[in-house]
Each structure stands twice: as C-alpha cells, then as structure tokens.
Amino acid sequence: MYDDRIILTSKDIYEKDFKMDTRGYRPQEVDKFLDVIMRDYDEFVNIIKDQEREKKLLTDDNARLKQEIRMLNSKLEVLKDTENYGKSTNNADLLRRVSKLEEIIYGE
C-alpha cells in the first residue's frame, strides 16, 4: 500500500557511500547515524504493516456487523407484523410476511 510512497529501503541506506574529501565526515559517525536511521525505518515499516492488519480486521468486523444489523432488522419487521396479525390481517399482509420469512430463511 505504501510501497509506492517510500523511496529508500534500509538496504539503500546501508549501502550508501559518501564521498570523502580532505575535511570530510568521520566514517564512524556516519555509520552510527545510518544505523539509527535504518532501525527507525524498519520500525516505521513494521508499524504500517500492523496498522494495515488492524484496518483489515476492523473493516471485516464492520461488514459482519452491518450484515447482522440487516438480518436483525428483517427479523424485527417480521415480529412487528406478527404482533399486528390479529388486528387486521388480509391476504396482502400474509403474503408480505411469508415473503419476509423466506428472505430470512433462504437469504436475499
């Protein structure tokens, strides 16, 4: 997901060579600093992977809960229709209730 946005890898950083001149940087200091950068960079990549896994779990859980809500709403409608059964029932009401029950049993 983020691979197209990340320019360097820890290997790129590790293999980076610096030009030396008469008043150049101390190689030991540069190496120590690059080690810190690589460690931070690897941790950054791990954090992103963890967040992507968590996002997928939450997305799947959200979809499952939405499906459960739809199913419970259907059952609630059937129960409401059942309560109204004795009040004023006609053939259209019966057909609608049978249709809702079939949806619950056989799926949409």
Tell me if 3 is assigned to some domain. no
What confidence tier does 53 reach under pLDDT thresholds 50, 70, 90? very high
- DSSP string spanning 30-63? HHHHHHHHHHHHHHHHHHHHHHHHHHHHHHHHHH
C-alpha to C-alpha distances, 58 to 46, 62, 91, nearest whole angstrom: 18, 6, 44
Tell me if 33 is assigned to some domain. yes
Tell me if 5 is assigned to some domain. no
Gap between the Cα atoms of 40 and 35, Å rounded: 9
What confidence tier does 19 reach under pLDDT thresholds 50, 70, 90? confident
**Contact at 8 Å (CB) between 38 and 16?**
no
Question: What average pLDDT does the chain have?
Answer: 82
Percent of the chain scoring above 70 in pLDDT: 86
Q: What pLDDT score does 89 carry?
A: 63
Total domains present in the chain: 1
28: containing domain? 10-106
What confidence tier does 56 reach under pLDDT thresholds 50, 70, 90? very high
